[in-house]
Each structure stands twice: as structure tokens, then as C-alpha cells.
């Protein structure tokens, strides 16, 4: 029987309180206020933003380097308004690492440069933007996940939010509250990389989409001893601990002389399922050049998130019947610059201009919403992504081919560019993990990192990771065990997947550990894992990430 739900109506509903949707909601309100100050026909739309985290910023994680170009466009006085900028880039390097040595790239092309960029904590920036959006009259609903689309007359007419208070078997507990039906003229999907509502809409409305590709970033925030780095230093690395065949790299950003962001991006997908992103970061930190900075310091926060890395060629259609797609859900990431927040914000601004136009004409047709795709096509965001469109693909031929194609000078005395490639299936990485023993000072187990992620979920709720029982029996415990040795044990940074042997061979899931990084859904080699939204409020609790 269909669940009865309370229904609320809005003109615009934003799904996801990330930089794209928050920028969009703020800009839309600015446009409306400017219009109302000059018009006899004021617009008074109701605008809501829903966020599955327990507060805005709880699920936001990035390096993060912010190019302020888009922020300048909609918030020119952001500094005066208290925007949490940690530092401005003062120095930057790009280096190739071998296990004991570092080779700085002598010439940094303009396309890699982070000149004038800002160092931010994305979770702090998101929290600040949410305050500004609320001050502009936007209604913000934290703890609220978009579980399902609401389709009416062949268009997205709203969303259904998460049911709260179901037990593991989906029986109603004493505190059961059915999710709400939030009806809207337009829904703006900005869930970040690999959003679950976007997946559902894609299969309903955007079946011609090119496939997206993904990497996984694992990040730690550290307090370090003063005197080792200066605020604003940005150091990026290729190479160690990855083989010359694998794409990925690390970063070290100094927010202040004592607070740093360190992380590692690993390439993941069905063709590289044995990679362990958490292990890659632990090994990266052991490089002597990094260990000497970290030693004596304390890791204060840890987390992980997939990154949409396909660029312009993997971008989905940006509009559909009743909806727009923004930010990383739309693939707004420039992998050449390792940046996407400015592109996400710009997509939000262009979406806001389209929504304003739709409100002005009281026309929410697909034809009117198409204006968003056209605005993007004519924007600097498109130009930037177009210029970088071949960068990530160049690394499919290996690290050195990619670096050469990226225009980087490769003449380092003492460096052999014919370093022996590791086997394609990266079996060695798996063997490596079995022998890797974190020391608890520089390197940490996944359990310890989880402790510093603030993760929490209501334990007694339906498992949000869906795998059919017949797939567990025939694929997980047979085919995958033989072919890959169950890579979910490796690629999940949160030990959600365990293969137990007592009393019987079984797949044990620990969904309450889940960091919502989405790696399992994109790296599962058989495509049998579906990530659905757990009860709103569950997941990590980032504060500095």
C-alpha cells in the first residue's frame, strides 16, 4: 500500500547543500530582491534546500583550493562578510616522487597554477554559505535525504524525503515518521559526485548520458609543529606510492603554520578494483619528504569522497523535465587544476539565472530550463573545462605519457623514466595491504581514521547498501572471491564490507561505518552494489575538511 505522506509545496527545491546549490540559492535571492526593488510585480517564490548531513558542511570534503572567480561574481565582499578563508596561496610546487626522492617539476605551466587561489575548509565554507542563504530567506532542512523522485505527467514534480524510524526489517518503530513529499516547479540536483537521486533521474530521463569516471580522494587534517611550513604553501605530487601505470597523486596544503590538509587521490573504477585509497594515503605520508613535516603532529580529522573526473566529455545533460543538475553531480571538476568548487559555484549561478527567468515568465517548461545548458555553453566555466578536456585521458597511457602530454618538463637528473610498471591488476597493492602495519602516529588503520571522521548512523535501520541475496551467493562469495579476492575489503575506506568465514562464508556489512564516499558503487567490478540514502543525519561529521 502506498505510504501516506504530508505534502509541502515550493517553487524551487535544491537537493544538496554544497557550494553549487548554496551559491545558486543566494544568487537567486539576490536577483529576486533586485527585481522586486524596481518592479510593480514582485516575485515571492518559496525556496528550500535539503541536506542529508546532520548540519550543513557535515558531508563536504575537499582539499581545498578555491579559485575565487565565481565567489567574486556573487559575493564580491565575501571577506568582509566573514567568509572562512584559511590562507591565500603564497608558494606552490609540483613534484614527482619516487620512494625516497623528490623531483620538483622545474616549470609549472599556467594551466596548473594556483596563483591567487584561496585555501579553505569546504565544510566550513559550506556552513558559512548556508548561514548566508538562510539570512536571504531560503529555508534549509538539514537531516533530510532525498530518497526518491516524485514524477507526475512525465516530469520531475518534486522529491520524497527519507522515512525515519524504520527498523532493519523495514518495520515501523515507535518513532516512525514517513518522509515528506516536497512538490516543486523545479528541483535542482547538486548532490555531489555520484548522487543517488541523480542516478535515478538519469535512468528515467537522461539515458543518452555518457558515463562518468571517478577517482577517490582520502584526506586528513593535521596539527603540526610550527616552523615546518608557512601559511599558504601548496605542494602537489605525482608518483609514489603508485606504479607508473596508475593515475593519482597527493597534496599538502598549509592552512596555517600549524594546520595542514594532506590527502591522496587514487584512480578507481571497475577496471582497477584492487586499489586501496586509504592505504595509498598512509604510504604517501611515509615518504621522507612528508614524514619529516608530520612527525610529532596529530591527525585531527579524516574522511573520503569520490571525485567526478570525466570532465567535459563525461558531462551529463544539465537540464531535464522539471530539473537542473549542478556542481559535481554535473561533473564540474577540472582535473588539470585539481579544482571544482569554483566551477560548481558558477554552475549554481547559471542555474539561478535560469530559474529567475523561469519565475519571471511563470514558465517551468523543459524548453525554458534548457536556457541553463545554453548559459553554461557560453560561460567561462565551459571554456575552462573545454581547455582541460583531454588532460585526465592522457594518463590512461601511464604517468609519464600523461605528464608529457600535460606539457610538463621531464628532465630530472638521476630519474629513470623507464621505471618498471607494476602488473595491471595491481596484485602487489593487495599483498602490500596484508603486510602493512599502521604505526598509530604517522599512519592509521581504517578504524582509527573512522574515529576521526565523526561518522554516525542510527544502527537499527534498513541497510542502505543494497546487494541482492542471489548476487551475494553467486558473485560475492564465488565469482568475485576467485577473480578479485573481494576488492570491497580494500577499496572501502570505512571497513563496511567484511568477508567472514565462521560459521559459514558470508558477506558481513557494517553500514553504520559508511562515509558516504560512494567508492563501492563506482568501483564494484560487477555493478551489483546500489548505494541508497540512509536516514537523514547519518554519515560523517566533518568540521575542518
Contacts with ligand SF4 by CB under 6 A lie at 465, 492-494, 496, 514-520, 531
- How many Cβ atoms sit within 10 Å of the Cβ of residue 221? 25
Grid coordinates of 127: 556552513
Quickly list H helices, 152-257: 196-205
124 vs 516, beta carbon nearer ligand SF4: 516
CB-nearer residue toward ligand SF4: 279 or 515? 515
DSSP E strand boundaries for 74-121: 85-88, 91-97, 102-104, 118-120
Nearest approach in angstroms of CB 519 to ligand SF4 is 4
Q: For 238, what's the count of Cα atoms within 13 Å in the CB-facing half-sphere? A: 23
Q: Which is nearer to ligand SF4, 146 or 492 (CB)?
A: 492
Name the minimum Å distance from CB 123 to ligand SF4: 17
d(CA 415, CA 417): 6
In degrees and rounded to multiples of 5, residue 76 shows phi and psi of: -60, -25
- Closer to ligand SF4 at the Cβ: 221 or 519? 519
Nearer to ligand SF4, 384 or 521 (CB): 521
In whole angstroms, the minimum distance from the beta carbon of 15 to ligand SF4 comes to 18
Give me the helices (H) in 378-484, please.
380-387, 391-394, 399-405, 427-435, 446-451, 469-471, 481-483
Q: CA nearest 27: which of 342, 344, 353? A: 353
Cis peptide preceding 64, ω within 30 of 0: yes
Please say which residue, 98 or 452, places its beta carbon nearer to ligand SF4.
Answer: 452
CB of residue 488 to ligand SF4, shortest distance in Å? 8
The number of angstroms, rounded, from the C-alpha of 484 to the middle of its chain's C-alpha atoms is 26
Nearest distance from C-beta of residue 154 to ligand SF4, angstroms? 32
Cβ proximity to ligand SF4: between 105 and 515 the closer is 515
- Closest separation between CB of residue 446 and ligand SF4, Å? 9
| Minimum gap (Å) between residue 265 Cβ and ligand SF4 | 15
Least distance to ligand SF4, CB of residue 517, Å = 4
Q: From residue 182, give the alpha-carbon distance in Å to each of 152, 160, 286, 537.
A: 13, 6, 49, 18
CB of 368 within 8 A of CB of 43?
no
Could you give the CA distance from residue 59 to residue 53 in angstroms, rounded to a whole number? 6
Nearest distance in Å: CB 108, ligand SF4 = 33
In this complex, which beta carbon is closest to ligand SF4, that of residue 315 or of residue 517? 517
Rounded to whole angstroms, how far apart are CA atoms 48 and 62?
25
Kindly tell me which of 64 and 517 has the beta carbon lying closer to ligand SF4: 517
Give the residue from 268, 230, 265, 239 showing the smallest Cα distance to 337: 265
Amino acid at each position: 500500500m502506498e505510504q501516506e505522506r504530508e505534502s509541502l509545496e515550493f517553487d524551487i527545491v535544491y537537493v544538496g547543500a554544497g557550494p553549487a546549490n548554496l551559491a545558486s540559492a543566494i544568487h537567486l535571492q539576490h536577483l529576486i530582491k533586485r527585481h522586486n526593488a524596481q518592479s510593480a510585480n514582485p516575485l515571492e517564490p518559496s525556496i528550500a534546500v535539503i541536506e542529508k548531513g546532520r548540519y550543513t558542511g557535515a558531508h563536504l570534503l575537499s582539499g581545498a583550493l578555491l579559485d575565487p572567480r565565481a565567489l567574486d561574481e556573487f559575493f564580491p565582499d565575501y571577506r568582509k562578510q566573514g567568509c572562512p578563508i584559511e590562507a591565500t596561496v603564497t608558494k606552490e610546487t609540483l613534484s614527482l616522487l619516487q620512494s625516497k626522492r623528490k623531483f620538483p617539476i622545474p616549470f609549472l605551466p599556467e594551466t596548473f597554477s594556483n596563483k591567487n587561489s584561496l585555501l579553505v575548509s569546504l565544510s566550513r565554507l559550506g556552513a558559512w554559505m548556508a548561514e548566508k542563504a538562510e539570512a536571504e530567506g531560503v529555508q534549509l532542512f538539514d537531516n533530510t535525504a532525498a530518497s526518491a523522485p516524485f514524477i507526475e505527467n512525465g516530469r520531475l514534480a518534486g522529491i520524497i524525503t527519507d522515512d525515519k524510524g524504520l527498523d532493519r526489517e523495514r518495520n515501523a518503530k515507535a518513532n516512525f515518521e514517513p518522509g515528506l513529499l516536497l512538490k516543486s516547479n523545479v528541483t535542482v540536483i547538486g548532490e555531489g559526485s555520484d548522487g543517488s537521486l541523480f542516478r535515478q533521474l538519469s535512468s528515467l530521463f537522461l539515458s543518452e548520458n555518457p558515463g562518468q569516471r571517478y577517482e577517490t580522494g582520502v584526506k586528513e587534517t593535521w596539527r603540526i609543529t610550527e616552523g615546518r611550513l608557512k601559511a599558504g604553501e601548496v605542494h602537489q605530487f605525482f608518483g609514489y606510492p603508485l606504479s607508473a601505470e596508475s593515475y593519482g597523486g597527493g597534496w599538502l596544503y598549509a592552512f596555517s603554520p600549524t594546520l595542514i590538509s594532506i590527502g591522496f587521490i587514487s584512480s578507481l573504477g571497475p577496471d582497477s578494483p584492487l586499489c586501496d585509497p586509504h592505504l595509498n594515503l598512509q604510504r604517501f605520508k611515509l615518504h621522507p619528504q612528508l614524514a619529516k613535516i608530520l612527525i610529532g603532529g596529530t591527525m585531527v580529522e579524516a574522511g573520503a569522497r569520490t571525485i567526478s573526473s570525466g570532465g567535459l566529455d563525461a558531462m551529463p545533460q544539465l537540464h531535464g523535465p522539471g530539473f537542473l543538475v549542478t556542481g559535481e553531480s554535473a561533473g564540474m571538476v577540472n582535473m588539470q587544476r585539481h579544482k571544482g568548487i569554483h566551477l560548481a559555484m558558477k554552475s549554481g549561478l547559471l542555474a539561478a539565472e535560469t530559474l529567475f527567468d523561469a519565475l519571471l515568465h511563470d514558465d517551468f517548461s523543459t524548453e525554458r530550463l534548457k536556457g541553463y545548458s545554453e548559459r553554461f555553453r557560453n560561460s567561462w566555466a565551459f571554456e575552462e573545462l573545454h581547455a582541460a578536456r583531454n588532460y585526465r585521458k592522457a594518463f590512461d597511457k601511464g604517468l609519464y605519457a600523461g605528464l608529457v602530454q600535460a606539457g610538463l618538463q621531464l628532465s630530472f637528473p638521476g630519474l629513470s623514466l623507464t621505471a618498471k610498471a607494476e602488473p595491471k591488476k595491481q596484485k602487489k597493492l593487495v599483498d602490500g595491504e596484508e603486510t602493512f602495519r599502521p604505526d598509530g602516529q604517522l599512519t592509521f588503520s581504517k578504524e582509527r581514521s573512522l574515529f576521526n571522521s565523526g561518522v554516525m548512523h542510527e544502527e537499527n535501520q534498513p541497510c542502505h547498501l543494497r546487494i541482492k541475496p542471489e548476487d551475494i551467493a553467486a558473485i560475492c562469495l564465488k565469482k568475485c572471491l576467485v577473480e578479485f579476492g573481494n576488492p570491497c575489503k580494500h577499496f572501502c575506506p570505512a571497513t563496511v564490507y567484511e568477508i567472514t568465514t565462521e560459521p559459514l562464508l558470508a558477506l558481513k556489512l557494517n553500514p553504520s561505518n559508511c562515509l558516504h564516499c560512494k567508492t563501492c558503487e563506482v568501483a564494484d567490478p560487477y555493478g551489483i552494489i546500489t548505494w541508497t540514502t540512509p536516514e537523514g543525519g547519518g554519515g560523517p561529521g566533518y568540521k575542518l575538511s
